[in-house]
Structures are given as structure tokens and as C-alpha cells.
Amino acid sequence: MADLFTMENMFTLFMLILLQAVLGFDNLLYISIESRRVPIERQRQVRQLGIGMAIALRLILLFVVMSAINGLTKPFFSVDWGFIAGEFTFHAVVTFFGGAFILYTAMKEIFHLLSVDHLEHADGAGKRSVASAIFWIVTMNLVFSFDSILSSIALTEVFPVMAVAIIVSGVMMVWLSDHVSNFLEQNRAYEVLGLFVLFIVGILLLSESGHLAHLELYGYEVTAMSKTTFYFVIFVMVCVSVVQSNYRNKLLKAREHSVRDGVPTMEPEIAFPAADADG
């Protein structure tokens, strides 16, 4: 037992908690958006139960992966249909379906925001049962867990250290989920940004699945999107959204001042050529 409290294990624990926090950002965003589908009075309960159950299942998944890691990374079926070829592992299949589902969810919610007539009902509250929302939160949490667990195993093979990191990250997710949900509720414009982040997460998982399966489309190998590229794209999207939001607020304030002071707003004018004497 004393061997657990070494400097190496403590440093590894810190790195694993940091890793879980970074890789859990997209998962936290999905949980916040998914929980808004249930009645408002049950949303906090859904987030807490979903994350709690997901953490318990993540510990079980960690044990299973450590026991059968070779089987999870070995191909169990392959395809070679001329235009597509690849060898699929269990990890690749789970990542593929997870990415496809997130991509579908993000696109459906984006189209929903564009089609609704009343924005106050655009969050779809009450359109999903509590049990269904918890099921999808737990399921997608396990999909997101694969990469973090495999990354954790690459850093250490000490099960208690990885288990503590998972539990600590779960407690942090429970705390942060309320703050993220409240932020999205108070800043509805950023909900669109969150959906497009999920859209990119879906593409990331699909590309990762193709890479794990050594997939080739018409002779071209599918490569995984770099995590550096992913976070850079997210950073740029956030910067664009913040600047655009601030600029729009300034325009609205300038227009309000102009209307209040009785000064007509400066709208661009279209200049027409003067008619000649014969016209």
C-alpha cells in the first residue's frame, strides 16, 4: 500500500486528472445540451445521475480494458469492397458509432434552431424522458472514455491511480456541468457555438475511427484529425463568436442611441447614375 504514495504515482495522478479534464470538455458540453431536453426541474438531477452512473461504469470499463486490451485493439472483421477497405477493431467500431451519433445530434439541433418560430422554446425542454436522457449521457460518456482510458494506460498501469483520477474528474464534471448549463441558458447565442463544437467532435471521432481501422477510401488512407488541430479550431471559433457578439452588441447600442436622440441611422445608400438629357 505504501508503494502507492510515491512521488511518481502522485505526479502521474495529477497528469491523469489534467488529461481527464481536457478530454472531458466535449463530453461536458454534450451532457449540458442533452440535459436540457428534459423538464427544467429535472435537468440538474439528470446531469448528476448521468455522470454518477457513467463514472461507476467507467471504472468497470477501465478494469475490462486493462484485462482485455489486446482483444480490443485486434481486428475482428475486415472489408475490401474496392472503393473501401479496412480492418475494424472493437475500439474503432465504438468510436465510429459514437462520432456518427454526435454528428447526427449536432446537425439535428442546428436545424431545429433554424426552424423554430419561438426561440424561447428552442431548447426542446420536456421532449425527452429522464430515463432516456440519462441513458444517452451514460452511453456517450463511455464512448468518450475510451480515448482517455487508453491514454491513461499508456501513462501508468497502477489501477488505483487511474481509478482515483476518474473519480476526481467525475466530481469536477458534476460541479462544472451546472455552471456550463447555466452559462448556455443565460447566453443563448453561445448555444450555436456549442453545437458546432459538437459537430467538429463528431468529425474528430469519425476520423479517429477510420485511422484505427486503417480505412482507405478509393485508395486514400483516412488519417485522424490532430488533437492540436481540433483545439486550435475550437479556439478560433470561440474568438470569432466572442468578437462577433461584442460587435453586434455595439451596433445595437449605437442604433438605440440614434433612435432615442432622433438621429436617423446611417444606412448604406445605393448611388444611381444621373440620367442624361436624352433619357
Q: Decide if 171 is inside a domain.
A: yes
Q: Which domain holds residue 34?
A: 2-225
Regarding whether 215 and 252 lie in a shared domain, the answer is no
Q: List phi, psi (to 5°) of 224.
A: -75, 140
pLDDT recorded at residue 216: 86
Q: Decide if 264 is inside a domain.
A: no
pLDDT recorded at residue 2: 47
Q: Decide if 176 is inside a domain.
A: yes
Q: If pLDDT is split at 50, 70 and 90, which confidence band does 261 have?
A: low
What share of the chain has pLDDT > 70, as a percent?
Answer: 83
Poorest-pLDDT segment among 103-107, 184-188, 209-213: 184-188
Regarding whether 101 and 201 lie in a shared domain, the answer is yes
Cα–Cα distance, 190 to 123 (Å, whole number) = 13
Structural domain count, the chain = 2
What share of the chain has pLDDT > 90, as a percent?
Answer: 0
pLDDT recorded at residue 263: 55
Q: Minimal CA–CA distance to 129: which of 219, 207, 39, 230?
A: 39
Q: Decide if 268 is inside a domain.
A: no
- Residue with the bigger pLDDT between 156 and 201: it is 201
**Statement: residue 124 has pLDDT above 60:** no
Q: What is the mean pLDDT of the chain?
A: 77
pLDDT recorded at residue 264: 55
pLDDT tens column, 14-39: 877 777 776 677 777 888 888 888 88
Average pLDDT for residues 194-210, to the nearest whole number? 86
pTM: 0.69
